[in-house]
Structure 1
Amino acid sequence: MEMFNSEEMPTLDVLVAYGIEIGLTLLGAFFVLFIGLWLAGFVERRLDNVLGKSEKIDKTVANFIASLGKYAVLVFTGITLLGQFGVETTSLVAVLGAAGLAIGLALQGTLSNLAAGVMLLIFRPFRIGQFVEVGGQSGTVKGISLFMTKLDTGDNVRITIPNNSVWGSAIRNFNYHETRRLDQAYGISYDDNIDKALDIIKAVLAADERCHKDPEPLVAVKGLGDSSVDIVVRVWCNASDYWALNWHLLKTIKEQFDANDISIPYPCRTIYKGDE
Structure 2
Amino acid sequence: MDNMDMEQMQETIQAVIEEVVTMVTSYGLDVIGAIGILIIGWIVSGWARGAVNKGLSKFERFDSTLRGFFSSIVKYLVLTFTLVAVLGQFGIQTASIIAALGAVGLAIGLALQGTLSNVAAGVMLLIFRPFKVGDYIDAGGHAGTVKALNLFTTDLATPDNVHIVMPNGQIWGGSVTNYSYHNTRRVDFLVGIGYGANMDQAISAIESVITADSRSLKDPAHQVVVSNLGDSSVDITVRVWVRSSDYWGVKFDLTKAFKEKLDAEGIDIPFPQRVVHMVQPD
TM-score by length of 1: 0.67
Is it true that 1:254 corresponds to 2:259 in the alignment?
yes
Give the partner amino acid of 1:111.
L
Which runs of structure 2 are paired with 1:118-267 in the superposition (5 Å)?
Answer: 118-267=123-272
Is there any run of 5+ residues in structure 1 with no aligned partner, and where?
1-47, 76-80
In structure 2, do the counterparts of structure 1 residues 269 and 196 end up closer, same or farther at CA, with 3 Å as the change threshold? Answer: same
> How much has 1:122 moved relative to structure 2?
2.4
Contact 1:181 1:237 (C-alpha < 8 Å) held by counterparts = yes
Give the partner amino acid of 2:182.
H
> How much has 1:156 moved relative to structure 2?
1.3
Contact 1:61 1:122 (C-alpha < 8 Å) held by counterparts = no
> How much has 1:101 moved relative to structure 2?
3.2
Provide the rounded CA distance (Å) in 1 between the counterparts of 2:68 and 2:246.
32
User: What is the count of residue pairs matched by the alignment?
Assistant: 210
Provide the rounded CA distance (Å) in 1 between the counterparts of 2:240 and 2:101.
62
The worse-fitting range, judged by mean Cα deviation, of 151-160 and 118-127 is 118-127
SS of residue paired to 2:209:
helix
Provide the rounded CA distance (Å) in 2 between the counterparts of 1:168 and 1:272.
56
Provide the rounded CA distance (Å) in 2 between the counterparts of 1:141 and 1:237.
22
Provide the rounded CA distance (Å) in 2 between the counterparts of 1:99 and 1:128.
34
Q: 2:106 aligns with which of 94, 101, 108?
A: 101
Partner of 1:114: 119
Q: 1:58 aligns with which of 40, 43, 66?
A: 66
Give the partner amino acid of 2:66.
D
Provide the rounded CA distance (Å) in 1 between the counterparts of 2:163 and 2:131.
17
Give the partner amino acid of 2:166.
I
Contact 1:58 1:122 (C-alpha < 8 Å) held by counterparts = no
Give a deviation string over 1:102-129, Cα, whole Å, max 9, x none.
Answer: 2211111110111111112222211112
Provide the rounded CA distance (Å) in 1 between the counterparts of 2:147 and 2:108.
31
The worse-fitting range, judged by mean Cα deviation, of 101-110 and 214-223 is 101-110
Provide the rounded CA distance (Å) in 2 between the counterparts of 1:197 and 1:116.
51
Partner of 2:36: none
Contact 2:69 2:149 (C-alpha < 8 Å) held by counterparts = no
> How much has 1:214 moved relative to structure 2?
1.4
Is there any run of 5+ residues in structure 2 with no aligned partner, and where?
1-51, 85-93
Provide the rounded CA distance (Å) in 2 between the counterparts of 1:160 and 1:60.
15
> How much has 1:210 moved relative to structure 2?
0.9
Is it true that 1:268 corresponds to 2:276 in the alignment?
no
> How much has 1:146 moved relative to structure 2?
1.0
State, as a whole percentage, how many aligned pairs show the same letter.
Answer: 49
Give the partner amino acid of 2:222.
P
Provide the rounded CA distance (Å) in 2 between the counterparts of 1:138 and 1:62.
25
Give the partner amino acid of 2:227.
K
Give the partner amino acid of 1:241.
D
SS of residue paired to 1:127:
coil
TM-score by length of 2: 0.65
